[in-house]
Structure 1
Amino acid sequence: MKKRGGYRANFGQRLGKFSPETAARLAEKPRIWIHAVSVGEANLAGLVLHELRRLAPDESFIISTTSSTGYGVCENLAQDDDVLIYLPVDFPSVVRRSLDIINAKALVLTESEFWPNIIRTCRKKDIPVILINGRISDRSAPRYKKLKCFFGDVFKCFSKMLVQSEIDKERLIAAGAPENIIRVMGSVKFDISPPSREALEKSRSTLKDAGISPEAPILLGGSTWRGEETALAKAWLKAREKSPEIRLVIVPRHAERGDEVERELSADGFTVKRRSRMKNGTEPSGGDKNAILMVDTTGELFPLYSLADIVFVGKTLPPNIGGQNMIEPASAGKAVITGPHTENFASVMDIFRKKNAIKEVSDASELSDAIMWLCEDPATRDSFGIRAGAAVEENRGALARSAEVILSQLE
């Protein structure tokens, strides 16, 4: 968090010490409290907020986050009557102090965000706690089960646990959660909306400014982690032997890695054009066809998916583990490639596998071969995109179902 900057801003909020103005707003009336730890969860929270506003337009919200990048995303989600804060650390004294101020009618947690002291204190104050898009990963399941005597008491404090799959339900029950509070809903992330016209135009302008022609095919690496940028660059270089016009766009998961990524790519002989320098005017527009565009900024990835031809989703090649969101490029009808490590999206990947809608590779060598294959075979590339888009459409609906459950707990 320190590397990403912004750690000191509003630091007191993390200790339950709010400014007089913020404290007054937190206390003035009951609001639905939604927590989103960082950028990915903030995007999920954005979907939920939009649906809750549609169903209950008179409701207002407290939105909390943990990271500075998540705070930046949440700033765009909050409306005038909402309150945006950093989540207080989960220490008993801090939690008590904070919840003596925060006037919440419900607390909504996402995926696998379990804060024992906050959850228990909400229960003591008769504040319903609802888990949405819940999941328990392969790695976490044995630990939760082993600590059933601890987590069972925490899970019993939830009013509802809305999970992605039957496997997630079984794992929560094995960890001590009451079966009667768990409902399998599917993944809320399938309910993603397409990017706005303004966002698409901004992305087209970014590509144009980087010297990328609208006719040029684009290989996009989305939310990449260490080692994946170099693997993509080498695969791109090989693909250009058959498709010389293809351009490479890389969007690191953490924008603050920009210098590191540029050094690694430059050491291998690649030229890098950086979006951050284009935005601040220190790098001119245009560029040669041999340059890689690195979008080292926050909030610009999603519309770029719609302009790509082949997408690699990051945090999936070894030694990285877990995976980033492959639903976003799939929703745009793109040919999507992932590495073998998609543990954070296990139930989602099961859906895509059944539809043969995503190409999985085991390492950098297979990634290169897959990119070459999709470059040489447009019909196969298009069919992957069609199947991916169809899989997303077929699995929509969890968002509306989850929002209705949240509102039912307010009654």
Structure 2
Amino acid sequence: MRRTLYSLVLLTALPFILLRTLWRGLYEPGYREDIPGRFGVGRKQLFLPTLWLHAVSVGEVRAAAPLIATLRHHCPDHRILITQMTAAGRATAHQLYGDFADIAWLPWDLPWAQRAFLRRWRPTLGIVIETEIWPNLLHEARRLTVPVVLVNARLSARSAARYTRAGELTREVLADFSAIIAQTDADAARFASVGALSVAVAGNLKFDINPPAGQVDQGRHWHAALDKRRVLLLASTRDSEEALLLDALLPHLPTDVLIALVPRHPQRFDEVATLVTARGLSLCRRSSGALPAADTRVWLGDAMGEMFAWYALADLALIGGSWLPLGGQNLIEACAVGCPVLIGPHTFNFAQATEDAIAAGAAVRVDDVHSAAREAGRLLAEPATLKAMGEAGRAFAQAHRGATARTMALIEPLLPDAT
């Protein structure tokens, strides 16, 4: 009854969801691709043994990389299917895995759409990355005897409170997972508090991502070509954060410091460029192919898939999503290449990794953008401190590796060639 009510609410909202998707397609054309796929409709697939991974957006798509590589080695005769819900995630999946994997939308969570999707692809195992919990998808998978596991699972206190309000529906849905494998003990405890019966802990897959050597070399090349100007990176910033950060930082930064600014969402590149020039700041766009001139104040990272290069370039990074109550973005990539980190007060999406990085000396937390501006000015004037933070970051990232092997050990009994 609860799931039926959920389905009716979703069906009622479907016209609005479809209109919103088409509207987003006006400035993110990827949302207009393969609309039938949102309903589980598509050409009939030839039957091939298929391992299916769902990674909702960019962060999850990237986090899946070490697990996908291990699965391909373990099951070389299986097709890899990777699904997403966002256009940016779809583009990233094509960029990283398009030469060997099938890329598709996960349908909207209507029973008949999920049933059509599962019958179309006939996966032998489904692996959901992080916190994508769709009642009808899981129910239909159970009906069709498709085991589904939730890996790299995280659950913030805020999300746990929301799932608690759903009561019995949450417990029923979590019971449809064949396994739940959490990032941390705290995540596992929160899953248990909302009704999960058995949760294992394997660590965070993001620590197992190897910084691409080509990107690291590119970042270092940029740094040398810029005559080793000091570079402050505003990394993966979210809506409204850029204005707050720029207005706070500019009075505290020497004019020779280059601000590298990489927004989280590509549809905002033009908006952020306008915001920068409206403040009278000289701007260079990465998409132009040119390096910043000596008097350029802001270098806008308006290209996808180069985050490791930006971290390798920067002397110090301020991590986006943490300056407004948005939960923060991934700081592990910065630590892995030895980039010191400043983080704001809002990090509930990366709580354990943030606290561990701070404890390791790789990151510093500040209370607000004004404190960040003062601290950034201080740190940029102390190369020895930045060097020590960068070395601590590398050691921190290296010490937390191994989640992929632990995850594989837990899901191996469910893999098709397991004995």
Q: If the length of structure 2 is used for normalisation, what is the TM-score?
A: 0.88
Q: Tell me if structure 1 keeps the 8 A contact 2:282–2:297.
A: yes
Aligned to 2:59, what secondary structure does the other structure show?
A: helix
Report 1:324-335 matches (<5 A): 324-335=329-340
Matched, 1:156 2:169: no
The answer for unaligned runs of 5 or more in structure 1 is none
Q: AA paired with 2:306?
A: E
Matched, 1:85 2:136: no
Aligned to 1:136, what secondary structure does the other structure show?
A: coil
Among residues 98, 112, 131, which one is paired with 2:131 in the alignment?
112
Matched, 1:34 2:53: yes
Report 1:171-210 matches (<5 A): 171-179=190-198, 182-197=199-214, 199-203=215-219
Q: Distance in 2 between the 1:9 and 1:403 partners?
A: 33
Aligned to 2:45, what secondary structure does the other structure show?
A: helix
Q: Distance in 2 between the 1:169 and 1:346 partners?
A: 14
Report 1:197-346 matches (<5 A): 197=214, 199-203=215-219, 213-234=226-247, 236-241=249-254, 244-276=255-287, 278-279=288-289, 287-318=293-324, 320-346=325-351
Instruction: Name the CA shift for 1:205/1:376 in 2 (closer, same or farther; >3 Å).
Output: closer
Q: Distance in 2 between the 1:76 and 1:175 partners?
A: 36
Q: Tell me if structure 1 keeps the 8 A contact 2:284–2:291.
A: no
Q: AA paired with 1:114?
A: I
Q: Distance in 1 between the 2:228 and 2:212 partners?
A: 20
Matched, 1:14 2:38: yes
Post-superposition CA distance 1:277-324 (Å, at most 9, x none):
x05xxxx66534233110112112222211211011101102x42111
In structure 1, what is the equivalent of residue 71 of structure 2?
52
Q: Distance in 2 between the 1:94 and 1:151 partners?
A: 21
Aligned to 1:113, what secondary structure does the other structure show?
A: coil
Matched, 1:68 2:81: no
Q: Distance in 2 between the 1:214 and 1:192 partners?
A: 30
Aligned to 1:405, what secondary structure does the other structure show?
A: helix
- Could you tell me how far 1:132 is from its partner in structure 2? 0.8
Q: Distance in 2 between the 1:35 and 1:206 partners?
A: 35
State the percentage of identical aligned residues: 32
In structure 1, what is the equivalent of residue 13 of structure 2?
none
- Could you tell me how far 1:183 is from its partner in structure 2? 0.4
Aligned to 1:6, what secondary structure does the other structure show?
A: helix
Q: How many residues align?
A: 392
- Could you tell me how far 1:168 is from its partner in structure 2? 1.2
Among residues 45, 61, 65, which one is paired with 1:24 in the alignment?
45
Q: Tell me if structure 1 keeps the 8 A contact 2:148–2:178.
A: yes
Matched, 1:369 2:377: no
Q: Distance in 2 between the 1:221 and 1:109 partners?
A: 30
Post-superposition CA distance 1:206-246 (Å, at most 9, x none):
678xxx614212111110113332344345534443xx532
| More displaced stretch, 322-331 vs 4-13 | 4-13
Q: Tell me if structure 1 keeps the 8 A contact 2:182–2:200.
A: yes
Q: Tell me if structure 2 keeps the 8 A contact 1:133–1:186.
A: yes
More helix by share: 2
Instruction: Name the CA shift for 1:30/1:136 in 2 (closer, same or farther; >3 Å).
Output: same
Post-superposition CA distance 1:75-95 (Å, at most 9, x none):
133365532111111101111
RMSD of aligned Cα (Å)? 2.0
Q: AA paired with 1:304?
A: W
Aligned to 1:371, what secondary structure does the other structure show?
A: helix
In structure 2, what is the equivalent of residue 381 of structure 1?
386
In structure 2, what is the equivalent of residue 407 of structure 1?
412
Q: Tell me if structure 1 keeps the 8 A contact 2:284–2:299.
A: yes
Q: If the length of structure 1 is used for normalisation, what is the TM-score?
A: 0.90
Q: Distance in 2 between the 1:257 and 1:117 partners?
A: 33
Q: Tell me if structure 2 keeps the 8 A contact 1:169–1:183.
A: yes
Q: Tell me if structure 1 keeps the 8 A contact 2:88–2:266.
A: no
Q: Distance in 1 between the 2:89 and 2:297 partners?
A: 30
Post-superposition CA distance 1:106-150 (Å, at most 9, x none):
110011111111111111111111111101112111121222300
Q: Tell me if structure 2 keeps the 8 A contact 1:305–1:332.
A: yes
Q: Distance in 2 between the 1:58 and 1:30 partners?
A: 7
Post-superposition CA distance 1:350-396 (Å, at most 9, x none):
21232232111111110101111101211211122222221111111
Post-superposition CA distance 1:157-204 (Å, at most 9, x none):
11111101112111111211112xx1011111111202222x345556
